[in-house]
Amino acid sequence: MAEQSTSQHVFHFNEDEPNFESFAEENGFRFWYARTLMSCLGYTGWDSFQRVMNQAMQILNTLGMPIQDHIMFVGRTIDGKQETDAKLSRVACYYIAMRADARKPEVAGAINYFATIAGAIRDHFEQIENADRIAFRGEITEREKSLTSTAKQAGVVNYAYFQNARYVGLYNRSIAQLRQLRGIDSSRTPLDYMGKDELAANLFAMSQTELKIKADRVSGQGQAEEIAREVGKKVRESMISISGVAPEALPRMEDINEAKKDLKRQSKALQKADSSKKKSTRKAPKLPPAADTPAEP
């Protein structure tokens, strides 16, 4: 089948004009093809768009939402060629839009469109910030597992001390002192109250610490802690040099669990919208569809 063409502005509610709903498909459930969404969002390359999709899958995973319920990869014949595509739920489309290039006007329109349907109470920029935070927080959780394993192999027996060394290097204070500075309960990690840039800095420090432990063939708790402090300090110096702001001076953000709850609430609203929505009578022109076959991402 030939791929559908999309206009640059399809994220609107004018039913007299083709809009995003015009490109919906139904086969037991309402979905959109990823390559259609790619065009709607102003992307032309599948590889770059797949990277955005991967980030959206990270959000789904972090929120505990089954990826297969929202993103299902399939094979399709497009313009006579077998291509990888994916069936996307409306929720997946929203998450992809929030992880897409915000400089594209199509992306801004998409976020506002989905947020309106979801009854979002946060503004456009806060929506993107929280999506970024959730994605980075999920990446940190995964990196922590890898770093824990690497540290253990290097002879670290007290991971809490090793972890604290990163905070000392990055924040020039212990994790307990950072909690006190920001008014965070002792039972919570400061990571849950960080903005996207601060989370990115911690993720970078963790990944570089792991790489250096492996490269230097570190052996023992003391050496591992020294590397964690050293790497944290270098990341700190870079942040101050670039932005002029020390990491500990960055603002405390809203509890990320509240951001997760809000995004889950929006997701339920989007799912509810589709469960009650009748199939649109205005469909974009299509040739008879080819059979889909499952494909690996």
- The DSSP line for 139-154 is HHHHHHHHHHHHHHHT
State the pLDDT at residue 16.
79
Smallest CA-to-CA distance from 253 within 134, 172, 169 is with: 134
Alpha helices, H only, 78-158: 90-99, 105-118, 124-153
Check whether 191 has a pLDDT greater than 80. Answer: yes
* Cβ atoms within 10 Å, residue 110: 24
Smallest CA-to-CA distance from 32 within 87, 97, 95, 94 is with: 87
Smallest CA-to-CA distance from 3 within 112, 77, 108 is with: 77
In terms of pTM, does the model score above 0.75? yes
Helix (H) or strand (E) holding 234: helix 221-243
Amino acid present at 222: G
Give yes or no for a contact between 127 and 95, defined as CB atoms under 8 angstroms apart: no
Mean pLDDT, range 159-168, rounded to an integer? 98
Q: Categorize the per-residue pLDDT at 24 as very low, low, confident or very high, splitting at 50, 70 and 90.
A: very high
Q: Categorize the per-residue pLDDT at 84 as very low, low, confident or very high, splitting at 50, 70 and 90.
A: very high
Amino acid present at 166: R
Residue 70 neighbours by CB under 8 Å, 6+ apart? 60, 88, 89, 91, 92, 95
Interatomic CA distance for residues 148 and 109, integer angstroms = 41
**Span 45-83, pLDDT tens digits:** 999 999 999 999 999 999 999 999 999 999 998 888 899
Check whether 279 has a pLDDT greater than 90. Answer: no
Q: For the chain, what is the mean pLDDT?
A: 89
